Chain A
């Protein structure tokens, strides 16, 4: 912490020589924002304005594209389905992983290292490899086009990372804290629930951010396992929407903007959580 504040103090001794840095960074920032600006500007144009000039400013402003997009796409249904998938799988994944990570980090049993290593190895299994057999398995079990079936897939796919992150975190909790509670006769389950979980709030925050973002943005599984219109997630929904409005780019961009809004709002509000969560998840390795 002190190193950071020290550096900050030095940073205030303004260096005038960093103009080239600003030039590079402004250029990078413009590139990073470009597609979002394109979405926004195009969404506010009429089709005629867009066809005449893709670059020009959207003037006079036209908001009818948003109305058309909401009318032409089932955004609220898609949002609801994505929300159900995300909440459901994050809860299942986190609970199952927390229990097991606690055992791996705080108990001693045969196979615990193997279990952790296995979870790390599974981090890089491509989901597409599981696609064909999972589909056959799910057809047999009648789980295709069901919320619970797909929630289980997402929970399973995110579980290895959850175990990995939580085990690392639980291991870092000081020994003495748990020993004294144990001496007072607390059970493991109470330790986990009343001491370890509250102490691990930052780790859970990280986990929720990483896993929720992954599930929310996932396309392949949703495409294959939730083909019915009433069950489509937002990511599958927008590919349908694209097919419907492939010739009316402004309406299409209005739709893409609508689809981005939930995450963009969350990012603006909780930017720190996103940045810290996503990087600490990786650096903890």
Chain B
């Protein structure tokens, strides 16, 4: 550390603090304020908790909360697939780099593009069902998007399809920097593939797994709007409406900014434990990983 005049660091941080205060700080205060008002334009009369009551009384809101919770199933699915595939690649099969490039490719495609393309692949007479019929799995040919029962599952599949590449590459990068002596020793001792996975690799990956779980859950709860919007727009009915979509619809489409702000405040409150988790896994991961580039 070098000694400087005391105001210098603040000068360096002034632009950033101004930017963050403008985009996060003020809006975060305002969203809580809005949630207690009958907002018209940029403010309105104080109405206490009415917006919260209206939201909680709205069956669509309760559905949205349930759908967001259900979509968290994405997390274990992503985790399982990406750990297993990354371990397969780490075994140095021939052409693992090519596999890695191909498996990562979906992550490069923009979510809205993925959503729109998938919305045509999964129609009743779309290519997915045609393919299933062709291979003799006609019974699996369901109305993926048009049916209230399956639409949320289809959203889940599409999220997993695009996001899994990131997980694979993340775990592979972590595996490639680890000391592989324990694994080699286990191999020489005749441990099976599953034994090596369970007793050597998974404990080794623990910090990265915890970190990934937090990131993936955050993605589903806070950054999945574009998936749902381009795939189903929250429908059919409200079968795939998540909290994000509910806030957007209530605020922008139905013009009920106060009620949207109330739900936004609840979503924010829901995210606070994730902040704590993020600090926790970060400390553990950095103690374990050190620095990895």
Contacts and interface: CB of A to CB of B under 8 A. Distances in A.
A38 to B, nearest CB: 6
B111 A35 contact: no
A72 to B, nearest CB: 15
A157 B23 contact: yes
Interface residues of B, number: 109
B173 interface: yes
Contacts of A120: 275, 278-279, 282
Nearest to A26: B99
Given A92-B19, A109-B10, A159-B20, A129 B215 contact: no
B244 to A, nearest CB: 5
A11 B9 contact: no
Contact of B92 (A10, A115, A133, A136): A10
A181 to B, nearest CB: 10
A122 to B, nearest CB: 5
Contact of B230 (A119, A219, A274): A219
Given A3-B180, A54-B127, A220-B248, A126 B221 contact: yes
Nearest to B127: A54
B27 A128 contact: no
A126 B223 contact: yes
Interface string A110-136: 001001011111111111111111111
B38 interface: no
A179 B247 contact: no
Q: Which 8 A-B pairs have the closest CB atoms?
A: A156-B23, A11-B92, A126-B222, A133-B30, A103-B12, A100-B16, A109-B9, A133-B27
19 contacts: A22-B93, A24-B85, A25-B85, A33-B102, A35-B106, A42-B127, A107-B2, A107-B9, A123-B218, A123-B278, A125-B24, A136-B41, A152-B23, A188-B2, A260-B113, A264-B108, A274-B104, A278-B169, A284-B291
Given A112-B9, A283-B293, 13 more contacts: A25-B85, A103-B8, A109-B9, A119-B20, A121-B278, A122-B24, A129-B268, A132-B34, A132-B247, A133-B30, A136-B43, A280-B292, A285-B211
Interface of B: 1-2, 4, 6, 8-10, 12-13, 15-17, 19-20, 22-24, 26-28, 30-31, 34, 39, 41-43, 85, 88-89, 91-94, 99-114, 116-118, 120-121, 125-127, 130-131, 134, 161, 165-166, 169-170, 173-174, 176-177, 179-180, 208, 211-212, 215, 218, 221-223, 225-226, 229-230, 244, 247-248, 251-252, 257, 260-261, 264-265, 267-268, 271, 274-275, 278-279, 281-282, 285-286, 289, 291-293
